[in-house]
Structure 1
């Protein structure tokens, strides 16, 4: 997990603006700074803008050496020291200067907020994450609204080992994004890593699901699919369903995956789906007449074509026999095949009739397969409705949930 970027430059910019505002208010009150104090402080201010904190400290020392300084001159020197310490990257000096100024009660409003922010960042950069979290909380409590500080707070919790605080902070992120607000990818990554760090597999998978929901990158899907398959009790018979998800999320690894996927679909009795896979492989140049496996790929294509033709020729008789059968197994298979052939309305009606008829060996599998086919073939919203009814503890419910995430995000 990467630490959040250093925000010293931002804090320096806030301090320079605050220093200018202080000088303007002082002139308005009739307060002045003698040239022997003001000139080195102006030089220091210019150096701070260039992020030359140590050189600025040398100029501040010149101002500090002037005898009989007024209280106002001392205040300006103290404030300039805080800005120079931040610019120099001296975190301890920044913390000392900022905390002293805040304790003095002589800075308020925007100046005080810059001090609190600078202190939080300094603690973070010196890896005192508990203190960084405390000061960042104070920053927001005092009215700060810099979104980057939310990352500082989350990172401080995570790097400090307080995953409970990370969970609590992100608890408002609901399935719809928490009050309509989309969670940040970095925030979800922190949440995922917290669960990984604490060996909470269920929590980690939940965080991955949110990542694929809002940021559906291939690598998140890869990790998620691997995790789901390694879940205790996950059934090997769901390999075809896993390949379906791999396909739609861009996780098929070349010719071997396409070949195995097509073969599994054909063996399961879904030649129409197998045909789609082969066509996709040729369109992507994964299958080609110029590859070493060209002949094998051609044989598979021919076998699929023949099986589909035979199935279509016998369809009327098969449907008749399925409707007269004692259970709905064959009706579901015929219906799902029709969905893959592009006859979604007719296919869904037959499959639903088969599910309703009952007697299925694995009814959750039937609903999962129907929902998958619908999502892939133009009936996404209705497919989601079917998938949300899928139960089971052997992987069917897990895969159905992933299909819902895919369908709703897509």
Structure 2
């Protein structure tokens, strides 16, 4: 999404510079002009013939020296059209941006400018506006060029529109333009670059629109579902959510890390330490043990490990000291609210018994008195781990507010990627 080069500008604008003067005698030329509907004065024709010769010789300095005088005697739209065209030719040939802008503004407003030229002129006028950081104006010119059917070679016009809108603070409009570009690529059997998603995510986060940022992050990892992309996207989500004032408590952080683990995105020992610390704080030693066993098996945790080994040893000891979950189930069934059912479900989820976790989370919701967004998130996780995609997505869809709503959308995107 770059500005057009000066060479490209000159090449395109110099194509088709209008010629009205032929080598025929003045009287014959005048009759020819009138037959074609062109109306110019004798004084203007004489001056224009001299300027045109300079244009044909590419004597841009000579054109510039005479063009103001030609402008001064240009009275009607025909005369103004040709004068502006000559000025534009000289400006393009000598990289004189102010003169090019002046000429383009005249040509865009002139009813005599051929329809076939308007798309090109709007596009380059938009580029000049963009270079001047006049982003709303640039977006308008680019949109007009697109609507007129202009297709700049090697440039995606929808992206130029999006670039101008995003840089001008019109984030929703810019995102919509990139969405159009993405769909066009998909319709052509191509995959849109990952950078297109990233720029929208960045702009939404900067604007404080966390819901749309999360939605686009989910689209990004759906289109580029590598473990690295999942980890990167979710780490950005946590950082930005915290920066914008969301409370990233241990429970929320744990469920984000669970998704990174599910996507095989845990990268190094720091990720494992953070995950283990979050699980340990929630009293879930089973998860810490399985996490470290997995990290050692994949070679992501070295052995011995002075930093992580104490956590592992502590988790094993706590796991052995835990009370029977079967007894907790009975207590949950007779409890006045869903708090015991929820804590028991958390333990089952951490130990890998997803079927029991689903049963107890549903009991917690039935009894009430619990954080429904948290419970439904974890119900969705348990269902997703069990391969119950539709049920998992329904659970995630019920989480509709706060940072957990954004996380639920990520989990839904992950579920959609599973075979």
Report SS of the residue matched to 1:144: coil
Change (3 A) 1:379 1:11: farther
Normalised by the length of structure 2, the TM-score is 0.64
Shift in Å, 1:144:
3.3
User: Does structure 2 retain, via aligned residues, the 8 Å contact 1:367–1:390?
Assistant: yes
Shift in Å, 1:347:
2.6
User: Does structure 2 retain, via aligned residues, the 8 Å contact 1:269–1:333?
Assistant: no
1:5-404 mapped onto 2 (5 Å cutoff) = 5-15=3-13, 18=16, 44=58, 57=60, 79=85, 82-83=88-89, 85-86=91-92, 88-102=94-108, 105-144=111-150, 148-160=156-168, 163=169, 165-168=170-173, 170=175, 186=196, 189=199, 192-193=202-203, 196=206, 200-201=207-208, 203=209, 205-216=210-221, 217=229, 218-230=231-243, 232=245, 234=247, 236-238=249-251, 239-245=253-259, 247=261, 254-283=268-297, 285-293=299-307, 296-297=308-309, 299-305=310-316, 314=324, 316-320=326-330, 322-323=332-333, 325-339=335-349, 343-344=353-354, 346-376=355-385, 378-390=387-399, 395-404=403-412
Shift in Å, 1:88:
4.0
Change (3 A) 1:101 1:264: closer
User: Does structure 1 retain, via aligned residues, the 8 Å contact 2:135–2:164?
Assistant: yes
In 2: Cα distance, 1:62 partner to 1:232 partner:
61
Change (3 A) 1:173 1:141: closer
In 1: Cα distance, 2:287 partner to 2:238 partner:
21
User: Does structure 1 retain, via aligned residues, the 8 Å contact 2:3–2:131?
Assistant: no
Shift in Å, 1:37:
10
Change (3 A) 1:102 1:248: same
Give the alignment's Cα RMSD to 1 decimal.
5.0
Unaligned 5+ runs, structure 2: 23-28, 33-49, 68-77, 222-228
In 1: Cα distance, 2:109 partner to 2:399 partner:
61
Change (3 A) 1:192 1:396: closer
Shift in Å, 1:288:
0.9
User: Does structure 2 retain, via aligned residues, the 8 Å contact 1:213–1:409?
Assistant: no
Change (3 A) 1:385 1:15: same
Residue in 2 that maps onto 1:52: none
Superimposed CA distance per residue, residues 234-284 of structure 1 (whole angstroms, 9 cap, x where no aligned partner)? 263424334334545788674344124224324534344323421343245
In 2: Cα distance, 1:247 partner to 1:385 partner:
22
Shift in Å, 1:100:
4.0
Superimposed CA distance per residue, residues 6-37 of structure 1 (whole angstroms, 9 cap, x where no aligned partner)? 35444444445545xx78xx9xxx99xxxx99
Unaligned 5+ runs, structure 1: 45-55, 65-71
In 2: Cα distance, 1:184 partner to 1:43 partner:
47
Normalised by the length of structure 1, the TM-score is 0.65
